[in-house]
Amino acid sequence: MPPHISIYQHPQEKGYGAALTVIGSALWLLIILSVFLQKNPVAALIALVIYGLLLWVMMKFMAALFRAWMVGSMVVLSKQQFPELHAIFVDVSRKLGLETAPEAFIYNSHGVMNALALRLSRGRYVLLTSALVEAEDNAQLRFVIGHEIAHHVLGHLNSVKHFIRYPAFFVPFLYPAYSRAREYSCDAVSASLLEDKNHALTALQMLACGAKRLNYEMNPSAFIDQEKLMPAFAGFCREICVSHPRMTRRVARLMCLFPIVAVKPDRAPSSAQDAA
């Protein structure tokens, strides 16, 4: 991980990650010890290994099926397919320290605006919805792409870590807290790449709004002010149970990290296929 990226990690991410690792390792140890406490520990160990191998084979097969679905039903970004958008994707990847960009796909989301980073076996992927590409301009789209690539760069999709930590995922509120910290980290890493940080603020607000015609009327300051309307107890209870922080908090944190004046853009919309 490049040093200039690690400084943008949320301060709580490493702490929550360490807690998941310690608790997960301890629970795995208890599982292994429980095997040796059986009347026939050898048979129990063999059964555990067999079930583990079956699960591994099943996961590999499901990953292969999912990739087959992506290749056959989505549109991959390449030098031949949407080359200008692909160039943005490659540029962001290199600036975040990846020599080889993840494989990127665009798929028909039927109006749902979102993006997703995922790891299948050893492959790195980023999925962008059609609604996202259509509604956001180049700078905003660069932020969203950077956010998803940051998940790969920061090691959030490491399969070994996930395996070790998996038993701890069932500890109430711990994994959601870790996941929210990761989202804050990726927001900050991606925003650091933009010359005009306002695009990061409006990109997040655009994800919350999802209306293309309103994209250039976004007012992040007014959006942050919505926090004043949040019922304290209900807001707290909902926040501790979800994997992503609410958008008003994400925009507010970026504004604190990168002191800027959030103003309404005074330029005309540009196509997502325009040169960045």
Distance CA 127, CA 139 (A): 18
> What's this model's pTM, rounded to 2 decimal places?
0.89
pLDDT digits (tens, 9 = 90+) for 192-216: 999 999 999 999 999 999 888 899 8
* pLDDT over 90 (residue 248): yes
Burial 44-71 (b: 16+ CB within 10 A, else e): eeeeeeeeeeeeeeeeeeebeeebeebe
- Cβ–Cβ under 8 Å, residues 254 and 117: no
- Cβ–Cβ under 8 Å, residues 231 and 165: no
Where does the pLDDT of residue 3 fall: very low under 50, low under 70, confident under 90, or very high at 90 and above? low
In 3D space, the residue among 12, 13, 55 whose CA is nearest the CA of residue 161 turns out to be 13
pLDDT of residue 275: 38
Say how many residues make up the chain: 276
**Average per-residue pLDDT in the chain?**
90
Query: In percent, how much of the chain has pLDDT > 70?
Result: 93
* pLDDT over 50 (residue 125): yes
- Cβ–Cβ under 8 Å, residues 276 and 140: no
Give the mean model confidence (pLDDT) for residues 161-185: 96
